[in-house]
Chain A
């Protein structure tokens, strides 16, 4: 593994461990509620409809069929909270690539090593991608193992498909933060751009089902490519995932080019 990737991962170690535990606990806790729902499908289906007003329920992905394994997993793991939590983690890690060390001044010494600036950005991106992959694999294991112990009845390949989408989604937002940081060197700006885009993207995607005007806008939302193919039911939506991946690639390229041409630390 290239030195800088290894070093970055070592620097992220504590954050990575913390987020892995956090996300896995969150995922595990919700997954383990399933037996209760499964045993009282009518009650919980009714409750889900009764508890939340229509519009709020739509924001939460409909909450349909919450007593079935697939519907439950979609609602509690892949819909709102876990992606948002995981995106927050990705944005924070993405900021650690360039913007945070630049603001604290530690980037200057790194920059004067015999390393190409382009390589610096690429290796920091690689560390981000690997770190997030670690969290994704750990949380996938939790969903799979707990899921089978509570008889979710969702095939592993479907869970894998959904989880791959989750990984690609958070990688996109993490890379967005990295790219804004690489282009401007400003942590707060990177955080707000990624945060605003994530929230807006989510809302647009949730409302697009009902509001005609949102449909074309939805094409700009990463959540559209994440959820449209319904991977828990249909398996890998290859085309959609490639769009997410392409978006990430464009951001990496932007980050590399922007960072290569600007003054650092002024």
Chain B
């Protein structure tokens, strides 16, 4: 199967300012790709290049096997802009019908169903929509024609937590249906639960592409055991991956790097009454990618 997105040396300069440099990556069919980076890192630039809103300074991009300039390919994409501007006296429902018309129509009742699902009031004039409601209209227009490829730029901004959950469910459904999703964010927590892979971009460069499952495996995890009787510290000392070990009477706490297998097997020798394992802190790994440049800068200075 051909990649949904394939870029090679994709570069964009705005005058002398670097927007994106030498981006080579691919997005595979059926995956949810989280595109992470701080504001101004080049996420939106990448997305705009893929949609032919702007043109690359160098390099090539192919989307769904075609050049971004090919207008027909955009018919197979659903796009939510990062800074969605909607204005005028037109009602949101009218605008959505117009967009649907240009896209060759959508299934009957589809717009209304999505509107209900996201609790969006579509009878409001566009100029009077709140930020959250604008974002909902943006999501509806991106999803309504059931596109093969969804490009969502900061999709959760402005949404309240309940609607965010609903949105994440929609992304999961899209993946189950075999569609491909590219979603950007500056917070890992927003994308880690739905993404298969994440790309991390910083200062216009892609610094890492990681498998989320692998990232989780590598991640540092806090574990706590409570036993029915005091346990000897020696039993837990020196286990692979175990750090910050603390044995206090009947409880053992530590952080664990990688697989918890050895630790579990030692703990199983005693009677466990309670166990706590915190979610692996991907944010921490993520931050190390971010801080690397800062670190280098310090060394350089």
Contacts and interface: CB of A to CB of B under 8 A. Distances in A.
B101 A3 contact: yes
A3 B95 CA distance: 12
Nearest to B19: A266
A4 B14 CA distance: 30
A131 B153 CA distance: 36
A127 to B, nearest CB: 13
A109 B141 contact: yes
Interface stretch (A16-24, A100-108, A159-167): A100-108
A219 interface: no
Nearest to B76: A114
B82 to A, nearest CB: 9
Contacts of B241: none
A106 B53 contact: no
Nearest to A4: B102
Given A104-B85, A104-B87, A106-B87, A112 B51 contact: yes
Interface string A247-265: 0000000000000011111
Contacts of A112: 51-53, 74, 77, 79, 81
A211 interface: no
Contacts of A85: none
Interface in A87-116: 104-106, 108-109, 111-116
**Highest count of chain A CB atoms <10 Å: which of B48, B83, B86, B104:** B48
B54 interface: yes
A262 B54 CA distance: 7
B89 interface: yes
Contacts of A116: 71
A113 B87 contact: no
B14 A3 contact: no
A51 interface: no
A261 B77 CA distance: 22
Contact of A10 (B54, B55, B87, B90): B90
Contacts of B103: 113-114
A11 interface: yes
B81 A114 contact: no
A263 B52 CA distance: 8
B88 A113 contact: no
A11 B88 contact: yes
Tell me whether chain B's interface is mostly helix, strand or loop, or mixed. Answer: loop
B102 A115 contact: yes
Contact of B71 (A10, A14, A114): A114
A114 B84 CA distance: 18
B99 interface: yes
B79 A3 contact: no
Contacts of A104: 85, 87
B85 A113 contact: no
Nearest to B77: A112
Contacts of B84: 105, 109
Contacts of B98: 3, 7
Contact of B74 (A3, A11, A113): A113
Contacts of B85: 104-106, 108-109
Nearest to A109: B81
Chain B CB within 10 A, most for which of A14, A112, A116, A261: A112
B75 interface: yes
A3 B103 CA distance: 10
Nearest to B14: A266
A263 B99 contact: no
Interface string B2-28: 000000000000100000000000000
Contact of A114 (B54, B75, B141): B75
Contacts of B81: 105, 108-109, 112
Interface in A1-35: 3-4, 7, 10-11, 14
Contacts of B72: 114
Contacts of B14: 266
Given A4-B102, A105-B83, A109-B141, 11 more contacts: A3-B102, A104-B87, A105-B85, A106-B85, A108-B85, A109-B99, A111-B51, A112-B53, A112-B79, A263-B53, A264-B54
